[in-house]
Structure 1
Amino acid sequence: MATVTPLPHTPKLSLAKATLADMPEITALWYTCFSSPLFDKLFPPTPAVHAWWNAANADDLLNKPSQVYLKVSDVSAEGQGRIVGYAKWGFWEGGEERMLEDRMPAWAEESDGGLCDGFFGALADERRRNLGDPPRGHAYLDMLCTMPEYRKLGVARLLIEWGCEKADALGKEAYVDATDAGKPVYMKFGFEQQKPLVLELDGDSVTCTSFMRPAKKQL
């Protein structure tokens, strides 16, 4: 793992909903957080696939009211307002207003479509196994990214806390697919680890673990 240079300044973090204008910066942040041999096959870091991500996120923002994009910006003088973390939360009513496989649009031409189907299909199956078929209503933390030099500074906490508070207000369980690296922060918010899912994809072994946070009873 590459060494991350500590920030030379004290950040001033600001949480807000993302806008269409933020999508290119969010796409670039996604590639910073999810760079690996497997993800480079799923979503090659090319201009065409960057454009695909921009369009996919814009479609969610404009046409799926249940999907919420959040951003954390460093609004200090040194940070200059750049986005240092983002999350995508989905609030599902149950019965599937959209099928889980419709989480993404048709894959980009430069992506490995078969590999994408295998990876995201397995995550959808796991979600059904944990939440029923069709899954009952829940809050789904679809994406969470923090710029490496801003990790452990409260960025993820702001993004997760917002969704958990909304899930509590709605009386919904919260759900996320994650790697072991995310386990400490999710468990801090009351998520409970489920059985790990080991995927063998194109010669790569990937472990994804689902975490579920019980619904809070409403008075």
Structure 2
Amino acid sequence: MMPSNKVEVALVSDKDIPTCFQVLSESFGHDAPFVDIYFPGHDTPSGQAQGTKRLTAWKQSSEDSTFLKAVARAGEGHQEHIVGLAVWTYMKEPPPAELEKVEDVEEVWPDEEDREFMTRLWRDYVIPRTRVINESSNKGVYVLELLAVHPDYRHLGAGTALVKWGTKAADEQGLKAVVEGTPVGRRLYEQCGLHTEIEEMRFDVGDQFSARRKPKLVFMVRDPVSST
């Protein structure tokens, strides 16, 4: 690990996206089933090209999503290294339950069984955040949709800084913050004020996919904290 005494949070530019996607891939490896199926082949050249394309399109098309990078500076020239990625979305309307409304499903999942599996996962994945949005009295919520920190740069505070950027934004607007987190990230989220609402999210994918790895995700929520 390169030495660094400070991690900074900044906005992601389009040219940062390939590096950010690589950080995402290396952060999760193959330990997160949802990432593996949502970003097929994310550790292969073709998968990284497709993932970069999808993240870029998302960044350019969503005014309510903020793409953040955590940057560490190292060496005599204080060279910048992107060590973390987060995407926070101010979500005023529930996400579509139909995956084809948010993704080009035939391009991303050309295999019919993979496509059907991901479609069923997505249908259940959005249920908890949909409920919280519907209960927000039309105010909406802040959703941490992605958080990744490169394994070589953990314990520098990158994850904390990226999470707290969004919780601060949520506080300023009096909104709840939510995340569908992995068990590995749970402690970090708790330290940033989120608490567990669903210990393990349920995915009813049917007998057809009983042999496939299903995501293990905890649904966590943080109520806004007033500055007064």
Say whether 1:60 aligns with 2:58: yes
- After superposition, residues 14-25 of structure 1 pair within 5 angstroms as 14-25=8-19
Q: 1:129: how far off? A: 3.6
Counterpart in the other structure of 2:171: 168
Counterpart in the other structure of 1:4: none
Q: CA deviation digits over 1:122-146, x for unaligned, max 9? A: 2101222444379950000000000
Tell me, yes or no, if the aligned pair for 2:20 and 2:85 is still in contact at 8 Å: yes
TM-score by length of 1: 0.84
Q: CA deviation digits over 1:134-175, x for unaligned, max 9? A: 995000000000011211210001101111111111111000
Percent identity (aligned) = 20
Matched residues, number: 211
Q: 1:199: how far off? A: 3.5
Structure 2: distance between partners of 1:67 and 1:23: 14
Which residue, 105, 114, 119 being the options, matches 2:116?
114
**Relative to 1, partners in 2 of residues 1:109 and 1:206: Cα closer, same or farther, differing over 3 Å?**
closer
The alignment's C-alpha RMSD in Å is 2.7
Tell me, yes or no, if the aligned pair for 2:91 and 2:133 is still in contact at 8 Å: no
Query: Which has a greater percent of strand?
Result: 1
**Relative to 1, partners in 2 of residues 1:187 and 1:63: Cα closer, same or farther, differing over 3 Å?**
same
TM-score by length of 2: 0.81
Moved more, 80-89 or 104-113: 104-113
Moved more, 157-166 or 78-87: 78-87
Moved more, 201-210 or 189-198: 201-210
Which residue, 205, 217, 221 being the options, matches 1:208?
217
Structure 1: distance between partners of 2:136 and 2:47: 31
Q: Secondary structure at the match of 2:152?
A: helix
Q: CA deviation digits over 1:38-73, x for unaligned, max 9? A: 344441233333222222211222121100000011
Which residue, 113, 125, 128 being the options, matches 2:127?
125
> After the TM superposition, which parts of structure 1 deviate over 4 Å for at least 4 consecutive aligned residues?
100-104, 133-136
Q: Secondary structure at the match of 2:167?
A: helix
